[in-house]
Amino acid sequence: MSNATVSRVGQSNLAGDDQALFLKVFSGEVMAEFAINNVALNRTMVRTISSGKSAQFPIMGKTSAAYHTPGAEIVGTAIDHAERVITINDLLLSSVFISNIDEAMNHYGVRSHYSKELGMALSNQMDRHILATGVKAALSTATLTTAGNAGEVVTDADGDTSADSLIQSIFDAAQALDEKNVPESDRTVFLKPAQYYLLVNSSSKLINVDYGNSGNGSTASGKVYNVAGIDIVKTNQLPTTNITTGVEAGGDATAQAVDARNGLALVMHKSSIGTVKLMDLSSESEYDIRRQGTLMVSKYACGHGVLKPDAAVWIRTATPA
């Protein structure tokens, strides 16, 4: 009896790896889930490098204007320059092992769900790293010694319970950014769900139709979009603890270590944080005959660092004890 001709549904053009198409679908689902869940990456200055472990971001100050005295030589004015070096963190990965026997006995597919979980795990961790860096920016001294400004902290003792107080603090943050000549575009305020819904459920002017801003959200939709002209982003990844070690701190280099206790909101401009990509998001798959299953890994290698402290404001209830 001759053997049957098998159609390998995971094989591309009847040749090569019999799981090639499975990996392609898996990778696409991981990337899609990452893009859906990530809220902070596009709100930083991103650079991609092909090799090395760090990248330099130039920081330039401002100049001034002056009246000219007839006959006087024009010699120009000095503009302060500095740089921030951002180093790549260790390789960050999320993985899952799928046993042959378990998958065969299971009556529903798991790979699609697993791919989404891997993408979500990496997305959430990147957000936590970026937002921790934003808190560091707000707590940092100036990058430029002659023309720069430090970050800003706004203390709001009852901002966690009073929507009007929190709104005022966000306006105070906007004023601080204005006074430091930070551009009005590309500003974002990150809030945890408790503070976000405090704003939505308030009787404040944010969603009051009598003030002509019904397009800014509603209690019915559970959404509010702007405060003081700043985009509002709800996220569970805003740090509110003292981060010292481990994955949350960025690995051995502890690049994202920061004391974020008592935090309420982070207001920042895109220029406050830099992101360096060495290895973009990708996935690998390998069947292990010794373990009778497939190991699937999604990973990236990135680093995040403070660029311009004056473009970030940390709103908290009190100074950590």
- Name the CA radius of gyration of the chain, rounded: 25
Asked, for residue 68, whether it belongs to a domain, the answer is no
Residue-averaged pLDDT of the chain:
85
> 39 in helix, strand or coil?
coil
Instruction: Provide DSSP, 270-289.
Output: GGGEEEEEEEEEEEEEEEET
Asked, for residue 165, whether it belongs to a domain, the answer is yes
Quick one: which of 126, 65, 71 has its CA closest to 275?
126
Quote the number of domains for the chain. 1
Q: Model confidence over 55-110: pLDDT tens digits?
A: 988 888 777 788 888 989 888 888 888 888 999 999 999 998 888 777 666 655 67
Tell me: pLDDT of 274 over 90. yes
d(CA 27, CA 115): 7
Amino acid 21: pLDDT: 52
Asked, for residue 303, whether it belongs to a domain, the answer is yes
d(CA 285, CA 156): 49
Amino acid 67: pLDDT: 86
Amino acid 17: pLDDT: 57
Asked, for residue 10, whether it belongs to a domain, the answer is no
Q: Kindly tell me the sign of the dihedral angle through the C-alpha atoms of 302, 305, 311, 316.
A: positive
Instruction: Show the domain range for 265.
Output: 20-60+79-316
CATH number of the structural domain spanning residue 133:
3.90.1690
Asked, for residue 7, whether it belongs to a domain, the answer is no
Tell me: pLDDT of 120 over 70. yes
Asked, for residue 6, whether it belongs to a domain, the answer is no
Q: Model confidence over 286-302: pLDDT tens digits?
A: 888 888 888 889 999 99
Asked, for residue 253, whether it belongs to a domain, the answer is yes
Amino acid 210: pLDDT: 46
Helices 193-200 + 163-179 axis angle, to 10: 100
Asked, for residue 2, whether it belongs to a domain, the answer is no
Q: What is the pTM of this model?
A: 0.85
Tell me: pLDDT of 226 over 80. yes
d(CA 267, CA 152): 10
DSSP assignment letter at 319: -
Q: Which of 76-90, 215-229, 307-321 has the lowest mean pLDDT?
A: 215-229
Amino acid 8: pLDDT: 40
